[in-house]
């Protein structure tokens, strides 16, 4: 019998979905997690998703005795650990290095540049250095990247710390980041790319990309912050546009050395040409995967595990439009509750509302947020009807956040 080791971080939204999918395979399952409260029935505990060398060696020896067929993560941090374990167990070769190249945004830029793939122009600095630049140095940055450009910490997630700045707003915008970002850590500056944005969700079977869904991101906006509020799928694209997006993702993944892994890529189309913004060796984040379902009742997590185990069976696809609204954090404070959920659920076309932040959690608005408060899901015959359903449902919600006391250290 094949044996799956599922690497699940404690804070993941998707533990249940992957556990259920793994159970449906009928395969033997071992869970590796850093959760203090046990998840599932059979598991191994790890201190973190980045364990020290001696703990990693112990894990490899333990797993070697269990003889797993597959070690797989469910998000970015767990995928890094899973790839390392997989290589050290001899199940894969070079996977950990490929994953590292993709998840480090600076390495991603370097590799895509060497492969001459379309991506934003970029330069590397630090927050500390950028805070000290003179007017002439700012002018040089503007000359190289454009009148407005993107400040992006390369090791953050969920658009945390990502700001579109200009030479006149730079100083003020950097003050927002000074308490949240290490001033000596690398900081990417990227040119701003015009055009509509899309998210490509797929799986690499070997090096060949199987596209599961392309989402449009209609209200991503032009900054200064880039909160991803709405996904609509499948995106309405001409065949040539779809080929342009998918070819860019496949070429980028090959340049990174990725194979046999889910991929989630974000791109913009400018004058018909795809520009790669992000390319990650994982599936779509948060609870967004709940919107990707197939005609035979299978979910994204089922397909990920099937492909990883070598099953290439054809997928029956839905013909309906789907949408996801990521509930934003409007202000800093202590999250208490979201009111109006019953009315949102009663909205025509709405298939679910999930709140994923626990009461009492300190939350931040963009650009310092690292999570969504929750998700609204919708289905319909057209993108227009789905967008309308999401707009009506979200208008019913009232987010209750207590302000933080002025003398708080937070």
pLDDT in tens, 348-383: 999 999 999 999 999 999 888 878 899 999 999 999
Cβ contacts of 271 within 8 Å, gap of 6 or more: 195
- Segment 120-126 shows an average pLDDT of 93
- Segment 23-52 shows an average pLDDT of 84
Q: In percent, how much of the chain has pLDDT > 70? A: 97
Q: In what order do the strands lie in the sheet with 333-339?
A: 362-363, 333-339, 398-402
**Per-residue pLDDT for 13 more than 80?**
no
- Segment 286-293 shows an average pLDDT of 87
Cβ contacts of 231 within 8 Å, gap of 6 or more: 199, 215, 216, 217, 288, 291, 323, 324, 326
pLDDT tens digits, 331-347: 999 999 999 999 999 99
- Segment 143-160 shows an average pLDDT of 84
Chain centre to alpha carbon of residue 283:
7
**Per-residue pLDDT for 37 more than 70?**
no
User: What pLDDT is recorded for position 2?
Assistant: 87
User: What pLDDT is recorded for position 197?
Assistant: 95
**336 vs 223, which has greater pLDDT?**
336
Q: What is the pTM of this model?
A: 0.92
Closest CA to 66 of 30, 98, 35: 30
Judged on CB neighbours under 10 Å (0-12, 13-18, 19+), 234 is buried
CA distance 190 to 145: 7
**385 vs 19, which has greater pLDDT?**
385
User: What pLDDT is recorded for position 407?
Assistant: 52
Give the tokens for residue 77.
């941090």
Closest CA to 72 of 23, 7, 2: 7
pLDDT tens digits, 272-285: 999 999 999 999 98
- Preceding amide of 234 cis, omega within 30: yes
Cβ contacts of 88 within 8 Å, gap of 6 or more: 56, 60
Place of tokens 């696809």: 317
Most confident of 124-133, 165-174, 236-245: 236-245
Task: Classify residue 314 by its DSSP letter.
Answer: -
- Cβ-based neighbour number of residue 182 at 10 Å: 12
- Segment 18-34 shows an average pLDDT of 88
**Per-residue pLDDT for 38 more than 70?**
no
> Worst-scoring range by mean pLDDT, 33-42, 60-69, 90-99?
33-42
Confidence class for position 403, pLDDT limits 50, 70, 90 = very high
- Segment 233-258 shows an average pLDDT of 97
**86 vs 25, which has greater pLDDT?**
86
Give the tokens for residue 363.
């939350």
CA distance 90 to 104: 24
**Per-residue pLDDT for 1 more than 80?**
no
Q: In percent, how much of the chain has pLDDT > 90? A: 66
Domains in the chain, ordered, with CATH? Answer: 3-103 (3.40.50.20), 121-191 (3.30.1490.20), 320-410 (3.90.1170.30)
Place of tokens 């290490």: 182
User: What pLDDT is recorded for position 59?
Assistant: 95
- Segment 294-309 shows an average pLDDT of 90
User: What pLDDT is recorded for position 115?
Assistant: 97
Place of tokens 């185990």: 309
- Segment 107-126 shows an average pLDDT of 95
User: What pLDDT is recorded for position 408?
Assistant: 46
**Per-residue pLDDT for 296 more than 90?**
no
**Per-residue pLDDT for 410 more than 60?**
no
User: What pLDDT is recorded for position 179?
Assistant: 75
Confidence class for position 105, pLDDT limits 50, 70, 90 = very high
Q: DSSP string spanning 243-286?
A: HHHHHHHHHHHHHHT--SEEEEEEEEEETTEEEEEEEESS---T
**Per-residue pLDDT for 389 more than 90?**
yes
User: What pLDDT is recorded for position 409?
Assistant: 47
**Per-residue pLDDT for 251 more than 90?**
yes
Distances in whole angstroms, Cα of residue 201 to Cα of each of 78, 128, 166, 410: 18, 36, 32, 36
User: What pLDDT is recorded for position 214?
Assistant: 97
Q: Output b/e per residue, 140-172; b: 16+ Cβ within 10 A.
A: ebeeebbebbbbbbbebebbbbbbbbbeeebee
């Amino acid at each position: 019998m094949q044996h799956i080791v599922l690497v699940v971080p404690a804070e993941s939204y998707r533990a249940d979905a992957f556990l259920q999918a793994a159970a449906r395979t009928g395969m033997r399952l071992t869970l590796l997690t850093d959760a203090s409260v046990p998840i599932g029935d059979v598991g191994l505990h790890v201190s973190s998703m980045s364990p020290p060398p001696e703990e990693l060696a112990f894990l490899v020896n333990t797993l070697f005795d269990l003889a797993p067929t597959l070690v797989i993560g469910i998000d970015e941090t767990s995928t890094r650990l899973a790839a390392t374990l997989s290589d050290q167990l001899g199940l894969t070769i070079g996977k950990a290095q490929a994953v590292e190249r993709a998840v480090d945004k600076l390495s991603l830029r370097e590799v895509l540049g060497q492969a001459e793939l379309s991506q934003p122009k970029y330069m590397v600095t630090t927050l500390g250095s950028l805070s000290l630049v003179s007017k002439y140095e700012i002018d040089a940055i503007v000359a190289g990247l454009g009148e407005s450009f993107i400040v992006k910490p390369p090791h953050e997630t969920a658009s945390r710390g990502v700001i579109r700045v200009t030479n006149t707003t730079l100083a003020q915008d950097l003050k927002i980041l000074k308490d949240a970002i290490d001033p000596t850590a690398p900081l990417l500056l990227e040119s701003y790319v015009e055009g509509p944005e899309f998210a490509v969700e797929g799986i690499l079977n070997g090096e060949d990309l199987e596209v599961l869904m392309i989402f449009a991101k209609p209200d991503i906006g032009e900054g200064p912050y880039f909160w991803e509020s709405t996904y609509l799928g499948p995106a309405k694209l001409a065949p040539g546009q779809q080929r342009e997006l998918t070819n860019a993702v496949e070429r980028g993944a090959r340049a990174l050395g990725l194979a046999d892994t889910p991929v989630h890529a974000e791109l913009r189309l400018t004058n018909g040409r795809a520009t790669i913004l992000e390319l990650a060796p994982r599936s779509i984040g948060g609870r967004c995967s709940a919107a990707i379902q197939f005609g035979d009742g299978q979910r994204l997590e089922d397909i990920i595990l099937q492909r990883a185990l070598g099953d290439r069976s054809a997928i029956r696809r839905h013909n309906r439009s789907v949408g996801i609204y990521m509930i934003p954090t409007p202000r800093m404070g202590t999250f208490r509750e979201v009111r109006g959920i019953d009315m949102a659920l009663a909205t025509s076309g709405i298939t679910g509302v999930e709140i994923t932040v626990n009461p009492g959690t300190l939350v931040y608005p963009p650009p310092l947020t690292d999570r969504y408060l929750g998700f609204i899901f919708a289905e319909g015959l057209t993108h227009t009807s789905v967008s309308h359903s999401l707009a009506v449902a979200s208008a019913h919600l009232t987010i209750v956040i207590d302000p933080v006391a002025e003398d708080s250290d937070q």
